[in-house]
Chain A
């Protein structure tokens, strides 16, 4: 791994407000997940009251509602933010014509790719872990109970899905060298994943896009361990394949 390339890529986030935005977003989503789950009934009845409707008796909220809320928030908002930031980051050098600055030196294209992927993944990991910790704090304060082990496994599985999506973004960005097209194709993959994850027959149950469902299943203990292991292996293989493909494409790409 090229240390200078890592420093260069980290500067993109550290010397700009992007890292703060990520921190704020993670905090906001995690805190909101716990708070909205805890006060859902009160919020709904407040709305009904304003509309002149009689109050409804809901089941009392549990920590499981908060877990579901957490994954829903992250899968609907955080992923979209990640996709746009990742594609902007991956296409930044091509769009701004920075390649001559780096590739005038004996920098291998493989090292360039690994650095981009590692830094983006690192940022996602740090902000996601921060979000998880914030959620655990608010979850415990609001519900007085937690399933820390299960929650960590579930978030670990979900992070693998994030890694896969980031790797897709890397492939499309460096192949097409256009932010718009890179984002469009990555979003298409994200929406396709969301559509096909309802099919769980046979081999479809171990497809990488099932990771979110597996994460939720781990939390309510309805999961099948073997299926999860198979999905994880398939996801790792898919990530490896995508990285290899990205390297092959980028190696043969003109830099100017």
Chain B
């Protein structure tokens, strides 16, 4: 069942269309990778879900209920980690957590116990220090701790690893993976490696529209079926043969390797038949192992 559903969501900034009738569904208890380049509409979408902004058209449904203007009750079950978290500099990390517990409505005993738990879980090393002295990475951890304090049904994360060092990033990714069993996560990022590591499903947004969506494994497998690497002593001859063929969508070569993307419907057998007619020694052919980044680039180039 979809915990979050966006229907024809449209948002303008002046005359600029930031979201263009965006339709999207996030299933419960999965990590949904919301990927796209900067300015594609990821943060706007998240801000609309959180009701920081109002949409011009369309609707948002959370847990089956439509979110209306001025309706904030649903926020009891949604938490948000912004890309650049900001807290009053004169408060300590612990103060921020205590205030968050107050906003959530926890009693003192429950608040203490949950705060202790999230500090340990997210590894906030200096909760007694003022936030003004925190690095951006520490603020991101604190924002995540505040979000987890709520024990939400849906966690919205807007590029949460962008300010972390490699070690911090790895540990945060591991933490996000472990949260999958407790909540649904909408994970917005342009770091595709991270998305590939933690997400079950991804949606690629471009110019405010979802242009690709699916299970990460399916997307990678589909692409792998179409991209081949051909090693030969004379790649220019291979390229000449492929160039005029109706089964080839695109190709490029580097040194002795020609990378060839077949059109949909074309098979490995068709490729072998084509290459058998070329008067050049083929050293090897194999399917290219695709990363999410390859898919991202291919789809965006096609767009």
Interface residues of A, Cβ cutoff 8 Å to B = 3-5, 7-8, 11-12, 15-16, 96-108, 251-252, 254-256
Count of chain B residues near A, Cβ 8 A: 33
Residue of B nearest to A101 (CB): B87
Indicate whether A254 sits within 8 Å of B52 (C-beta atoms), given known contacts A7-B99, A105-B104.
yes
A251 and B103 contact, Cβ closer than 8 Å, known pairs A98-B86, A100-B80, A103-B52: no
B67-75, B175-183, B218-226, B235-243 - interface stretch: B67-75
| Complex CA–CA separation, A101 to B86 (angstroms) | 7
Give every chain A residue within 8 A of B82 (Cβ-Cβ): 100
B122 to chain A, nearest CB (A): 16
Pairwise interchain contact A7-B47, C-beta atoms closer than 8 A? no
Say whether B90 faces chain A, with CB atoms less than 8 Å apart. yes
On whether the beta carbons of A4 and B52 are closer than 8 Å, the reply is no
Contact A11 B86 (CB under 8 A): no
Assess the A256–B53 pair: CB atoms within 8 A: yes
Chain B residues contacting A107 (CB-CB under 8 Å) are 72, 75, 103
Instruction: Determine the residue in chain A with the shortest Cβ distance to B86.
Output: A97
Report yes or no: B73 in contact with A106, Cβ–Cβ below 8 A: yes
Give min CB distance, B222 to chain A, whole Å.
36
Question: Do B86 and A4 touch across chains, with their CB atoms under 8 A apart?
Answer: no
Most buried by B among A7, A251, A256: A256
Q: Is B123 an interface residue (CB 8 A)?
A: no
User: In the complex, A252 Cα to B70 Cα: how many Å?
Assistant: 9
Q: Check A105–B75 contact: CB distance below 8 A.
A: yes
CB distance from A50 to the nearest CB of B (A): 47
Q: Other CB < 8 Å A-B pairs besides A7-B99, A101-B86, 18 of them?
A: A4-B99, A8-B99, A11-B95, A12-B90, A15-B91, A96-B88, A99-B52, A100-B85, A100-B86, A101-B85, A104-B75, A104-B147, A105-B76, A105-B100, A106-B73, A108-B72, A254-B54, A256-B52
Are B90 and A106 within 8 A (Cβ)?
A: no
Evaluate contact between A255 and B53: CB separation under 8 angstroms. yes
Cα distance A106–B76 in the bound complex, in angstroms = 6
Q: Which residues of B contact A97 (CB under 8 A)?
A: 84, 86
The answer for the CA separation of A206 and B281 in the assembled complex, in Å, is 101
Closest to B95 in A: A11
A sample of 29 inter-chain contacts (CB < 8 A) reads A4-B102, A4-B103, A5-B103, A7-B99, A8-B88, A11-B91, A11-B95, A15-B90, A15-B91, A96-B86, A96-B88, A98-B86, A98-B88, A100-B50, A100-B82, A100-B86, A101-B85, A101-B146, A103-B51, A104-B78, A104-B79, A105-B103, A106-B72, A106-B73, A107-B75, A251-B70, A254-B53, A255-B52, A256-B47
Q: A12-B88, A16-B90, A107-B72 are known contacts. Are A7 and B50 too (CB-CB below 8 A)? A: no
Q: For residue A105, which residues in chain B have a CB less than 8 angstroms away from its CB?
A: 75-76, 100, 103-104, 150
For residue B75, which residues in chain A have a CB less than 8 angstroms away from its CB? 103-107
Question: In the complex, A16→B88 CA distance in Å?
Answer: 11
Scan B125-144; emit 1 where CB is below 8 A from any A CB, else 0. 00000000000000000000
Least Cβ–Cβ distance between A132 and chain B, in angstroms:
29
Report the Cα distance A199→B104, complex, angstroms.
52
Q: How far is the CA of A99 from the CA of B253 in the complex (A)?
A: 51
Give Cα A149 to B104, complex, Å.
Answer: 46
The smallest C-beta distance from A175 to any residue of chain B, in angstroms, reads 17
Task: Determine the distance from Cα of A15 to Cα of B72 in the docked complex, in whole angstroms.
Answer: 29
Q: How far is the CA of A4 from the CA of B106 in the complex (A)?
A: 11
A16 to B70, CA, bound (A): 33
Whole-angstrom distance between the alpha carbons of A104 and B54 in the complex? 15
Residues of chain A within 8 A (CB-CB) of B53 are 254-256
Residue of B nearest to A103 (CB): B52
Shortest CB-to-CB span from A12 to chain B, Å, is 7
**Distance of B182 from chain A, by nearest CB (Å):** 18
Nearest B residue to A251, CB-CB: B70
A15 to B54, CA, bound (A): 34
Bound CA span A12–B87, Å: 12
A193 to chain B, nearest CB (A): 33
